Amino acid sequence: MNILRASASDLGRAIESGALDPVDVAEAFLEAIDEHPFSARIYTEVLRDRACSEALAARDRAKRGMRLGPLDGVPISWKDLFDSRGSATEAGSDLLAGRIPDRDAEVLYRASQGGAICLGKVHMSELAFSGLGLNPIKETPPCINDHDAVSGGSSSGSAASVAFGLAPLSIGSDTGGSVRIPAAWNDLVGLKTTSGRVSLQGVVPLCARFDTVGPLARSVEDAAYALSLIEGTRPMKLGKRSKLGIKLAVLGTSVLDGLEDRPKKAFEAAVERIKNAGIEVHVIKAPEVAKALDLSPVLFAPEAYGTWKEVIERAPEKMYPEILERFRGGASVSAAEYVSAWHRLDQLRDQYAARVSEFDAVLCPTAPILPPNAKRLLEDHDYYVSKNLLALRNTRVGNLMGGCSITLPTGYASCGLSLMGAPMHEERLLVLAHTIEGLFA
């Protein structure tokens, strides 16, 4: 087994059988991080002592037949907005330089209680407010398919750490696409959980009403185990559904507009393969989606700026200007406009839920564009703004509609297929995704 390329689930099974020692697994990843030319662009800090200590404890449990779960002894990287006791958590921003929490975020604590090994913290978009992953303040992780391109944000380092073989699994966050975009652009599985399902205690916030926590992984099985791990629940049994009886919808509103050639071909090929497998697929129009997308400027930036205004305005010169401008864009929205927009969004969510209730999931391309060139993003303001908005457009539908979503690799480089499910139905979505994943193997 190639430890650096194995799935988290396969590593866990090898540890369970005695074929692998958790210490050897941890050391393999630590050595790979030390030697990789991009490691400094991916990891903010490698928590070597913690990883080695946790690996030794996992070895002892494995020897005594007392493993805590399927990912006991498996290393995980963590986006740098999850508090980690005694080590810096700066959320990709110099505004939080030197911030060292004295306790783990609840999801990190639960993962450690489940036996996972904390490898370290990985880079991200500044304060998580970009879908591109460009961060000239700290570091910009590369895309696995184009090292001159961004890896997607804001969980940029999470995706890069898994894609480049520097972690088998990573935990990120998703407010408007920040798990799914980097997962798609790096040919990974990415799960956006329902808002309110996974604890945000000890997670540096962006927009608390939209913020969610989720895994970036090599397989749906890994994502399912990771969800159980960070929730502290019993691992779900991930079976496959009969393809007969599955009913899917292709969203025909907004998300298919202006697709670049490869994402368009990837999506069409994926839908065709699903149909050829005998799965029922319908194209639907959902005008409430377009109306919800139009509300985005009144919902995201005002909450983000309201959350960070005092910190930002004490030292705005410490921020990347593009991110600063995006935060400040929320300053002009009145409280009445913000509250009214949320009332309207709640109505649109109800309409959308009724429209899609007969379907097991709604399909769309995860991102309408390929990863943009990092150098051009730095040099061309209009290019940056347009690419950031396009990158987030499709994934944001899942956040606005309030459900859970997952992106799967399609076999086309940097092109993902999104499946959007109902709120709090992650288990059903994961089983469905596991079934569909098999069509692309």
Tell me: the pLDDT tens digits for 283-332? 999 999 999 999 999 999 999 999 999 999 999 999 999 999 999 999 99
Q: Do 185 and 37 fall within a single domain?
A: yes
For tokens 């303040």, the residue is 137
Last residue of a domain, one of 205, 231, 257: 231
User: Which of 87, 93, 178, 219 does the annotation list as catalytic?
Assistant: 178
Res. 235 pLDDT band, cuts 50 70 90:
very high
What lies within 8 Å, CB to CB, of 155 at 6+ separation is: 79, 124, 170, 172, 173, 174, 178, 179, 182, 183, 190, 216
Active-site entry in 77, 84, 93, 154: 154
Backbone angles phi, psi at 186, to 5 degrees: -115, 20
Whether the Cβ atoms of residue 202 and residue 106 lie closer than 8 Å to each other: yes
Domain match, 58 and 98 both: yes
Task: Based on the fold, state whether residues 117 and 25 are members of the same structural domain.
Answer: yes
DSSP character string of 338-393:
HHHHHHHHHHHHHHHHHHHTTSSEEEEES-SSPPPBHHHHHH-HHHHHHHHHHHHH
Same domain, residue pair 56 and 184: yes
- Pick the catalytic residue: 7, 9, 79, 387? 79
Residues 62 and 134 in one domain: yes
Do 262 and 415 meet the contact criterion of CB atoms below 8 Å apart?
A: yes
Reply yes or no on whether 154 is catalytic.
yes
Task: Provide the number of structural domains found in the chain.
Answer: 2
Residue 324 inside a domain? The answer is yes
- Residue 72: Cβ within 10 Å count: 22
φ, ψ of residue 11 to 5 degrees: the values are: -60, -45
Same domain, 262 and 220: no
Among candidate residues 92, 67, 98, the one with its CA nearest the CA of residue 79 = 92
pTM value is 0.98
The residue behind tokens 């961004």 is: 150
Specify the CATH number for the domain of residue 396: 3.90.1300.10
CB 77, CB 26: distance < 8 Å:
no
Question: Is position 178 annotated as part of the catalytic site?
Answer: yes
* Residue 257 maps to a domain: yes
Domain co-membership, 275 together with 356: yes
**219 catalytic per annotation:** no
Which residue range(s) make up the domain with 417?
A: 247-291+320-440
DSSP helix/strand/coil, 161: helix
- Is residue 56 one of the residues assigned to a domain? yes
Pairing of strands 280-284, 247-251: parallel
Q: Choose one of 200, 231, 262: the last residue of a domain.
A: 231
Residues 339 and 432 in one domain: yes
Q: Are residues 283 and 183 in the same domain?
A: no
Q: Same domain, yes or no, for 70 and 152?
A: yes
State yes or no: pLDDT of 242 exceeds 90.
no
Question: Which pLDDT value is given to residue 237?
Answer: 84
pLDDT band at 166 (very low <50, low <70, confident <90, very high): very high
The answer, yes or no, to whether residue 384 has pLDDT greater than 90, is yes
pLDDT tens, residue by residue, 95-139: 999 999 999 999 999 999 999 999 999 999 999 999 999 999 999
Q: Clarify whether residues 131 and 218 are in a common domain.
A: yes
Q: Are residues 284 and 326 in the same domain?
A: yes
User: Does some domain include residue 308?
Assistant: no
